Structure 1
Amino acid sequence: MHRVRLVVLALAAAAILTACGDGNAAPPADKKAPKLGACRVLDPKDVAKPSDSTKAVPCSDDHTAETFAVGDLPDDFEDVDYDDQDLGAWAYKTCSKQFQDFLGADDSLVMRTVVSWAWFRPSEAAWDEGARWYRCDVVGGGEQSREYVDLPTSAKGLLLGRPDDHWMVCAEGETVAGSVKVPCTQSHNWRAVTTISLGDAKDPYPGDRLSEVTTRDFCSKSVGAWLSYPVDYDFGYTWFHQAEWDAGNRRSVCWAKTDQ
């Protein structure tokens, strides 16, 4: 299987690190940190932007995003450029950790859920005027989602226990690579079933070849076990490159071919 960037990293590190400004003028509200727990109706186009001024809606109404973390950026970012790479790496580590805690999931489970997270900073105009806050939102989809699903009134603890298939990620397509990622309650050909850790936090990147081979060999055995060792079965795998490794991701994902 060719590699594919998985959603759950919700915004893959490469996209996070290279986002550019939206050029909007700074409204007064954009200078202040957003409200924790606010809900919004966001779509993939909104999430692709570095800042967001979408108005909040009652969390009892339909919504696709919920703010689970807000705060001021560290003083180290007081004088950096708007699209500084270290800022993106800091946001990835900060939001991904709080994302796990908010949902009640471990490293493996967050890689296999249809929900992901997005982070936002002030508009570029507000940044130039000294605004230095961040906002992390859980969103009802990932990088390859065509549209987002509605979230519950609050997504806090969403993945505690045994999560419902509505929140687990599957794929619809002939191969995992490039396929549309959907909730497992929808028609699909593939299901993300396990993950493998390729190293510890301080380990150097093992390289593309070793990462892929290690992932492939593990997934072949892991998916076979998940399927109760059938004579024939198909499996796929998602592995990541150095940009994602440098941002903090250490896991690859294994996919089982299904008949649904």
Structure 2
Amino acid sequence: MPSLEQLKMFIAAAETGSFSAAGRTIGKGQSAVSTAIVNLELDLGFELFDRSTRKPQLTGDGERMLTYARAVLMQLDNMTCAAHSIFEGEEASVRLMLDDALMLPSLSKILIEFGKKFPATRIDLLSSVSPEIPGMIVQGTADIGLMFSGGTVQKGVEQMFIGNLPFVSVSHPSYPLTQLATIGANELLSHRQLLLRSPQGSVLDQFPALSTQLWYATSFHTIRELVLQGVGWAYLPEHLVSTSIASGQLARLNLRFEHKLWSPPVECIKPKHTRMGPAASWLFDNIKNVLS
């Protein structure tokens, strides 16, 4: 059976183009590398290198085996990484429950950094509407919650206000509301409004119903697609629609009762009286800056 040392020398020789260069790379003599590869070829039953040229060239069989050799060493690195993670007390997984409107580019960057810092810890990204998230944290369905604030103290969770997320009112450019220079509450009554609501019927108090015609969805991304098709108008996170507004796919509505962008508060929550592991603690501390 091939040894790990043989595989390392084989990969080094293939990548550097010579046995002597491979030896310098891994701190071995040329003869040790050559002997290890010959023994590896004997174990496998076929040649890995064509030695008829000045520099050894991988054979077709050698090319095939190189892929597997790299995979074996990568798996070994993964195992070593997992062992270190276990020794350091890092969690096998961290579950982040968030309102999908808060899947911001800045959050993606934080998650990428998390993956580098805790490569052996899995991230489970769970999506729900904000009013349902505190209950799921209390029930143990998730470790960290990222949500729009309900404006009240939630039992069983530790709440931290982290900033505000700007929303804009939008519709398709051909929707009737866009024909009005300014729009008051009375004009909105007869035009279909798209709102967020959970399957259990929970709604956010910060998203008021301003129309007699209401359609509901459980995702802001779904609402955005409906608005793009001209189904109605809606308040949507600015980062979800800014590109579509700039390209003319969506139109921003000029509401008379809005002086500034409407920006609901956002909270990061975690269970009370529960000690978080190092990976979850790092993620919680960094998510606090997602709106900075």
User: TM-score per shorter chain, which class?
Assistant: under 0.3
RCO higher in structure (CA 8 A, sep ≥6): 1
Larger Rg: 2
Q: Give the structure with the larger helix fraction.
A: 2
